[in-house]
Amino acid sequence: MTRYEYGGDEFIFVELAEAMSLETNFKAMAITKALREKKVSGILDICPSNASYMIRFNPDLIHPDDLISKLKELEQDVTLENFEITARAVDVPILFEDPWTHEALMRFRDRHQDPTSTDIEYVADTNGFQTKEDLIKSITDAPYLVSMIGFVPGLPWCYQMVPNEKQIEAPKYVRPRTYTPERAFGFGGSFAVIYPVQGAGGYQLFGTAAAPIFEKEQRLHDFKESMTFPRQGDVFRYRSISMEEYEDIRKQVENGEFRYLTKDITFKPKDVLENPNAFSESVIRRLYA
């Protein structure tokens, strides 16, 4: 059941479900999109999340109880039947088991559930994969929905567009690391992430992204309009690459020549929910056509 909560004088928090699912995230997108289109007087900001959303409003222009009533009406009216998402399909090159994130994760084995293994070995085992290569194949076989942006600017929370029983899950470290390299790729819960900048972190680390997702200087073409690259609704396909390709991409980034491979796509959530395998195949086919 949806939960509506007050957040001080200026915020309303709406939790659509306690657990993340594609359907719940699509519903949050549909509701917040419809709310933006209504342009309700007094609403200052709309922030969709994985299984919830938050509204900032001006209490001098709209009473919180009136706003909650409008949100409840909107929840009843919005359906996914004809809802369409226009987004980018994006090729995201990942160097799995790179030396830099490996060095970082090995420094913090005392904070890990299994100090005798690496992060990728641990998650492969806990998810029932025979080898870490099988885990990598599962990660790269199907694309991910960028379900929200957060934690630090530009960090994409990515939920794989597969049936629930095929979702990869990874517990966070027992105690967080005090160091995570820039562009580190990893998993926490059922979410894949790329760390935009160096910092602390508790997600299991599997590799590193070859290209940036945050660029303060905005040199590269993909960052001309924003310092952050990911957008909610993007469909990321993580692709395993060799060290040779990684180094080539890094040279392109340094020279200011790199551009993400992207394709504009439009899709209906109901098509994803009804046949995620067919959707995944169509996205990959269009992206690399």
170-227 pLDDT tens trace? 999 999 999 999 999 999 999 999 999 999 999 999 999 999 999 999 999 999 999 9
Topology annotation, domain 3-79: Gyrase A; domain 2 (3.30.1360)
Q: What is the CATH number of domain 86-287?
A: 2.40.100.10
Q: Rounded to the nearest 5 degrees, what angle is found at the Cα of 198, between the Cα atoms of 197 and 202?
A: 105
Neighbours of 169 (CB within 10 A): 12
Predicted TM-score (pTM) of the model is 0.93
Q: What is the mean pLDDT of residues 148-167?
A: 92
- For the chain, which residues make up each domain, given as ranges? 3-79, 86-287
Rounded to the nearest 5°, which phi and psi values hold at 244?
-60, -45
Residues 6+ apart with CB under 8 A from 55: 11, 12, 14, 35, 43, 45, 46, 47, 67, 71
Query: Coil, strand or helix: which one is 73?
Result: helix
Residues 189 and 177: their CA atoms lie apart, in Å, by 16
Average pLDDT over residues 41-68: 95
